[in-house]
């Protein structure tokens, strides 16, 4: 794999040591494509969304996806704190980690799992999966505007 291995001794400070328990079957496929493109601006004016902490690639502007008519959303947690997220169809530089839940979901019909930067483990947003196969898209990502920079 092209993916940078993480020593098992890092497991206590990083979720990466537990990759094999991820329920997402497509993970290995996404991992293999993660770093085949150099960081920075891609071809045809496609912009790169980079991790705000380590600057590694999270995703590209051509992977934005409109959910409920927009790819930028203002969301509020149960305590009323707001945040802005972009929605993407794919995030090759992020990984969902944790137990999926539809509790307090911002997108009815979808359950969510926290998503982290593959490189540094910083929290970058959430991965959403449809609760029913008839819902489209079946999966998308909500990435915090405040956790990425656009190049």
Structural element, H or E, at residue 31: helix 27-33
Using CA atoms, how far residue 66 sits from 28, 76, 111, 117, 124, in Å, is 26, 19, 17, 22, 19
Point out which span in 4-12, 21-29, 52-60, 143-151 binds Zn ion (CB under 5 A): 52-60
In the DSSP assignment, the letter for residue 147 is: G
Fill in the per-residue mask, 64 to 103: x = in contact with Zn ion (CB under 5 A), - = not in contact. ----------------------------------------
Contact flag: residue 119 with Zn ion (CB under 5 A): yes
Point out which span in 3-11, 60-68, 102-110, 119-127 binds Zn ion (CB under 5 A): 119-127
- List, in order, residues 6 or more apart from 68 with CB less than 8 Å away: 107
Give SS3 for 17.
helix
Contact flag: residue 46 with Zn ion (CB under 5 A): no
Point out which span in 2-10, 48-56, 60-68, 127-135 binds Zn ion (CB under 5 A): 48-56
Using CA atoms, how far residue 119 sits from 40, 44, 112, in Å, is 15, 26, 21
Nearer to Zn ion, 53 or 130 (CB): 53
Contact flag: residue 53 with Zn ion (CB under 5 A): yes
Closest CB 146 distance from Zn ion, rounded Å: 13
Say if residues 119 and 51 touch (Cβ distance below 8 Å).
Answer: yes
Interface residues toward Zn ion, by CB under 5 A = 51, 53-54, 117, 119-120, 122
């Amino acid at each position: 794999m092209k993916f940078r291995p993480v020593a098992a001794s890092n497991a206590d400070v990083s979720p990466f040591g537990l990759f094999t328990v991820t329920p997402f079957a497509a993970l290995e496929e996404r991992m293999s494509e993660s770093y085949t493109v150099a960081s920075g601006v891609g071809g045809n004016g496609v912009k790169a969304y980079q991790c705000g902490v380590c600057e590694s690639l999270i995703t590209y502007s051509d992977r934005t996806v409109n959910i409920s008519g927009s790819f930028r959303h203002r969301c509020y947690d149960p305590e009323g704190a707001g945040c802005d997220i972009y929605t993407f169809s794919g995030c090759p530089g992020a990984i969902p980690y944790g137990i999926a839940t539809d509790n307090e979901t911002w997108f009815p019909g979808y359950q969510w799992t926290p998503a982290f930067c593959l490189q540094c483990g910083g929290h970058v947003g959430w991965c959403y999966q449809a609760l029913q196969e008839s819902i489209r898209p079946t999966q998308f990502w909500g990435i915090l505007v405040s956790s990425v920079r656009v190049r």
